[in-house]
Structure 1
Amino acid sequence: MPPPAARNSEARRGVLMAGGSFLLWGLLPFYWKQLQAVPATELICHRMVWSLFFLLAVLAAQGTLRGLAAAFASPRLVALNTLASLLLAANWLTYVWGVNHDRIIETSLGYFLSPLCYVALGRVLLRERLRSLQWVAIILATLGVALLLLRLDHAPWIAFLLAGTWSFYGILKKKSALGSLQGLTVETLLLFPFAAAWLLWLAARDGGVFGHAAASLHVLAIGSGLVTAVPLLMFAWGAQRLRFTTIGLLQYLGPTLQFLIGLLVYHEPLGAPQLRAFVFIWAGLLLYTADGFLAGRARQPAPDASF
């Protein structure tokens, strides 16, 4: 094992990389707002197409392109990755649509709910046992959602879709033998023919961004591949060097930034019923995080690293 000083240095770099990835994810509303004139379906197609080229280039540079063949080794793996790709596409589409229709606060709610939904699905689908604090956290989040349903004039369907698709996607990823980078590449590869066909169909009808919009929109559309893949690469690098509890704390940076951007920058309304619901959900998240921290400390009573 490396000496404690080296492990501390690696952990600090891990915090910078993983924290940077959540920071970038939290700032993404600024990026998608620049493309607000482009339909969300077209944006997601651009995101799929250009991120695939970038991901394939990274895998080629790493010499790991051959590892993609494992995803197509059996019908079960193909079905698993196809379902994961559909959930990912639904999540991306819902998120971009929500941001560009002035629902950033609601998108942040979806990602605040995701960890608790993930725990609940783990209990129902994977028969994982929940600790007492996890039960309390889920109950508080449920009360928060109930307040939203009772007091608002519409169900927060964007938040529900984001939390649901992301949580089920996480469950499928637990069953996948592929790493995060290879898994995303396979999922994007499965969606690529449909995304490319849609963009070509738009071009044939003299529609779409390319050839019909300012040069800046062309650059931003192509850049959607980078803003998809770069945070993931940063997260994968950082996660390998951090404890699970540290990652659990850092993951709330993204939705917190989204919430603040929606509230303070784009001045989206936040009524008293929404605020009370958020308080219940945040309280649940605090308990969930505390439970993860205490469980991690119990498993590692004498850690060497500072993070």
Structure 2
Amino acid sequence: MSDTSRGMAAMIGATVIWGLSSLYYKLLAHVPPLEVLAHRTLWSLVFFGVVLGLRGRLGELVRLLARPRSLALVTLAALAISVNWFMFIYSIQTGHAVEASLGYYIFPLVAVLLGMVVFGERLTRLKWLAVLLAVLAVGVLTLGLGVAPWISLGLAFTFGIYGVVKKLQVAGPTVSVTAEVVVLAPLALIWLWGVHMQGWTGVVGRNLGAFGQSWHDSLLLMFSGVLTAMPLMLFTTASRSLPMGTVGVMQYINPTLQFVIASTIFLEPVTRWHWIAFPLIWGAVAVYSVETLRQDRAARRLAASVGTSGTTAM
């Protein structure tokens, strides 16, 4: 199998796992989201710790956390991704999976805006058009439903901020994500201690302390670490083998699967306002994807011509 084929397979695997993960977290709908989040954090740490240990890279983790600037970036990334994870789990458990899918459609366009604000990146006219279509879609939902799609916006912006922070980090994805869950682990342990030992009650008023009550719930909570780690590792493989434009466009497999599951399996209502907003989003996605692929091909042609010129000059 060629590197490109391997990268395509890895990217499809990652996005399909992400897209189907709503089915998994729906099985844990009776467990409060903060408890699910705590277990997801701790079991992710276990999984990544084993992976780094087997690869002999635990020293990289220690060095990353020992540098004050790196620790600050890791902490900021950890806060952003933990809020994102919580909002996704909450949305699935409370019947807002359609909004979650919208958030992951909007995310790349939010990332474009954050790139312009933080890194001074320039937007082409077509990318501006994509952003404006997304803003129009959000406006339609806000006016039609009488409330802004806060879950969608929260998911998009927290993941966008997470991406900005990751771009500032020098560590590889596996090491940096492990560092993030290391930072979050004490909070997760404190919450689970309160749940099991102090009888803390959740904001949704459900019984807490699911782990250990049944083998079914316990295994699901433990496997959430694998469910978090595996697609990230597949995504890393894809990113190394495929042009970034291709990677960006293929990410839309995730929210598409989420939307299909939310509307056909969870039977969440899709109002007429959603049917106006989603085509606008899909139009924005199409414009963004075409422009991203065009820019990616242009960059590769430029790199190839520079390489040829350099070889000729030698």
Q: Distance in 2 between matches of 1:121 and 1:115?
A: 10
Partner of 1:244: 244
Structure 2 residue matching 1:70: 3-state secondary structure: helix
1:215 aligns with 2:215: yes
- Secondary structure, in 3 states, of the residue corresponding to 1:82? helix
Question: Partner residue of 2:82?
Answer: 89
TM superposition shift of 1:47: 0.2
Residue identity matched to 1:219 = L
- Percent same amino acid at aligned positions? 37
1:169 to 145, 149, 162: 162
* Post-superposition offset of 1:292: 0.8
Cα drift, residue 69 of structure 1: 2.5
Give distance in 2, aligned partners of 1:149 and 1:58: 44
Q: CA RMSD in A?
A: 1.5
Alignment of 1:109-124 (within 5 A): 109-124=102-117
How many Å separate the matches in 1 of 2:128 and 2:63? 37
Q: Which runs of 5+ in 1 are unaligned?
A: 1-5
Q: Could you tell me whether the CA contact under 8 Å between 2:17 and 2:231 is conserved in 1?
A: yes
TM-superposed deviation, 1:83: 0.9
Q: CA deviation at 1:300?
A: 2.3
Give the conservation status (yes or no) of the 8 Å contact 2:210–2:217: yes
Q: Which aligned segments of 4 or more residues in structure 1 are displaced greater than 6 angstroms?
A: none
Letter in 1 for 2:104: Y
Instruction: State the alpha-carbon separation in 2 of the partners of residues 60 and 74 from structure 1.
Output: 21
Does the CA contact (< 8 Å) of 2:138 and 2:148 recur in 1?
no
1:255 paired with 2:255, answer yes
User: Is 1:64 aligned with 2:65?
Assistant: no
Find the partner of 2:16 among 23, 27, 39. Answer: 23
Are the aligned partners of 2:97 and 2:262 in contact in 1 as well (CA < 8 Å)?
yes
Select between 201-210 and 217-226 the one with higher mean Cα deviation: 201-210
2:205 is aligned to: none
Gaps of 5+ in 2: 200-207, 305-314
Alignment length (residue pairs): 296
- 1:184 is matched with which residue? 177
Q: Bigger shift: 152-161 or 181-190? A: 152-161
TM-score w.r.t. length of structure 2:
0.91
Q: Is 1:75 matched up with 2:76?
A: no
Residue 309 of structure 2 corresponds to which residue in structure 1? none
1:101 aligns with 2:94: yes
**d(CA) in 2 for partners of 1:276, 1:214:** 44
Mapped contact 2:78–2:183 kept (Cα < 8 A): yes
Following superposition, the deviation at residue 209 of structure 1 comes to 1.1
**Matched residue type, 1:208:** G
Amino acid at match of 1:218: S
Would you say 1:204 and 2:197 are equivalent positions?
yes
2:134 counterpart of 1:141: yes
Task: Report the AA paired with residue 259 of structure 2.
Answer: F
CA distance in 1, matches of 2:226, 2:283: 34
